[in-house]
Amino acid sequence: MELDIHTIRKDFPILEETVGGKKLVYFDNAATTQKPKIVIDAITDYYSAYNANIHRGIHHLAEKATAAFEDTRKTVKTFLNAASTEEIIFTYGTTDSINLVANTFGKKFIGEGDEIIISTLEHHSNIVPWQMLCEEKGAILKVIPINEDGELLMDEYKNLLSDKTKLVSVVHVSNALGTINPIKSIIDEAHKVGAKVLIDGAQASSHINIDVQDLDVDFYALSAHKLFGPTGVGILYGKKDLLLAMPPYRGGGEMIKEVTFEKTTYADLPYKFEAGTPNIADVMAFKFAIDYINTIGKENIAEHENQLLEYATEKLEEIPGLKIIGKAKEKVSVISFVLENIHPQDIGIILDQQGIAIRTGHHCTQPLMQRFNIPGTARASFSVYNTFEEVDSLIAGIKKVQKLLS
């Protein structure tokens, strides 16, 4: 299906903005996607029409707010094909979801001498919590290496697995390189040795259909703001039997069934992990973001993004002195590159002066940058509202960078 990108762009008010007198070209979608008007309006509607706390109130506003909040949980359940809404935990983002698992499953089920496996491609949020846990517990952190194209070495992964492996936590799609990891195989191999698997789906969720039951994944984490939704909202999917066995993450209101000074009993799933007043407005608006994706069709979104990726890759490879970092056979619409003798930050500054927003630096993946012996990259990442004409603007902008700085 060929999308009407001009019409889609009208759904995103920020794309009408100008930067330094030039129309905004937004190529920082791997950091966060822009928000359609339907999501922005949903937040305004909540605060102006039915702002109330949820779950405990019996008045009209509270009941309406509660229904809207729980409608999002139902929508996420379908979006991920989870077996039950009890398996959908609202968090404050992917980082929070990973920390939840580290501080509950990790602290209960991982002990001295046990092993956790991550990969070279990980974002810091899927490295640091496990380092902290290993330091506390005396566990061992192992890392799956990659090849020069930014692909996991699966034979090396299999060699790392043993009966000491308790958890494998890997990214579905690399935020820095766009590499799509073979997570189905990763999960299957981990389960053979009795290990559980957490998948960081922050980057994958906007590009790839996710079926947690088909994957047989134990935990899956994602963030709303990568899916045209608000910031400050995340999802942790977990298999029900695991969530039941895990202790609460935080204590307070919402996550209790009964409190006395002698003993507290905890709420049923999913509320056991949702202490305190949540980010109601943004959780509620997340449903509208998913509905928006479903209206366009994730397959159609992916097709357009892949066309942009192919077009941009071809054009960038024609530029002398430019090197693309990460050429995996399977990747999403993210391109990281370096220019000979030019610092990535300088690339970003000059492109910004032309109204072109990209990301520069290490992308919270310092070990990955060290693997390629570079301080960082310039990264352009595309979404459904981007156009081929915008890619042409990027190419012209990079040539201007070279002309100014070479």
Any idea which residues carry the catalytic annotation? 364
Is 166 strand, coil or helix? strand
User: In Å, what is the CA distance from 249 to each residue of 4, 102, 169?
Assistant: 44, 10, 19
Kindly provide the b/e burial profile for residues 129-166, where b requires at least 16 CB atoms within 10 angstroms of the residue's own CB. bbeebbeebebeebbbebeeebbbeeeebeeebeeebb
Kindly provide the b/e burial profile for residues 45-58, where b requires at least 16 CB atoms within 10 angstroms of the residue's own CB. bbeeebeeebbeee
Copy the structure tokens of residue 322: 């430019």
Q: Positive or negative CA dihedral for 362, 363, 368, 372? A: negative
First to last CA, the chain: 43
What DSSP string runs through 53-79? --SS--SHHHHHHHHHHHHHHHHHHHH
Please name every residue paired with 234 in a beta bridge, in sequence order, or none if there are none. 91, 223
Please tell me the distance from the alpha carbon of residue 235 to that of residue 201, in angstroms, as a whole number: 10
What DSSP string runs through 245-287? HSPPSS-SSSSEEEE-SS-EEEPPTTGGG--SS--HHHHHHHH
Phi, psi of 348 (to 5 degrees): -60, -40
